[in-house]
A = this chain, B = another copy of it.
């Protein structure tokens, strides 16, 4: 198979995909088409990984009792975050409705397995967190592939990792990377919810560039 050459039209659409991706919080409850999630996860496995270690572990959470425990975990962690926020931001923070946990038809917890033999340790010596980064790359691959199908992904990071691992009965040595809510978005937005809500706004790219 010969290498693909991408067209200007493809690049323009790819830019649209990046611009309209969004971290989705408001989902329609309709299920995804049969097999869609498995297909997206297969695409995620094409992501780069340090030493080709593929350290990502995807836990598809369907059991209602486990989902309830995850929700309680989120409420606890979110409550602590609220308590730690200075006064004037608390209300806004609460109104942002970070979870999406209640409506999204699919829940996927993503972990990295630091004990994997795959990859033979390559590239992890000076930077063991490269394993976690590989799982992040898989999440992002899934995220973009999903959005291209009109499927939204929301990344929940406000969870306490240790009880989460217990709830999901995964090895305590696995490192929690992110909990994904996946489903059809209620609406599409080009501007991030946090920006619309007045929480924060994006800065111009030059802000982040340094020349040496």
CA distance A201 to B17 in the complex (A): 30
CA distance A199 to B158 in the complex (A): 37
Whether the pair A210, B57 counts as a contact (CB closer than 8 A) is yes
Q: For A145, what are the chain B residues with a Cβ–Cβ distance below 8 Å? A: 11, 14-15, 18
CA distance A127 to B120 in the complex (A): 27
Stoichiometry (number of copies): 2
Whether the pair B157, A123 counts as a contact (CB closer than 8 A) is yes
Whether the pair A14, B157 counts as a contact (CB closer than 8 A) is no
- A18's contact among B21, B43, B81, by CB below 8 Å, is which? B43
CA distance A42 to B212 in the complex (A): 18
Write out, one digit per residue, whether chain A residues 1-19 have a CB within 8 A of any chain B CB (1) or not (0): 1011110001101111111
Whether the pair A62, B212 counts as a contact (CB closer than 8 A) is yes
Q: For A93, what are the chain B residues with a Cβ–Cβ distance below 8 Å? A: 122
Report the nearest B residue to A113, measured CB to CB: B208
Could you list some 10 contacts between A and B, CB below 8 A?
Answer: A3-B188, A4-B20, A6-B149, A10-B148, A51-B200, A57-B208, A59-B212, A77-B125, A81-B125, A126-B160
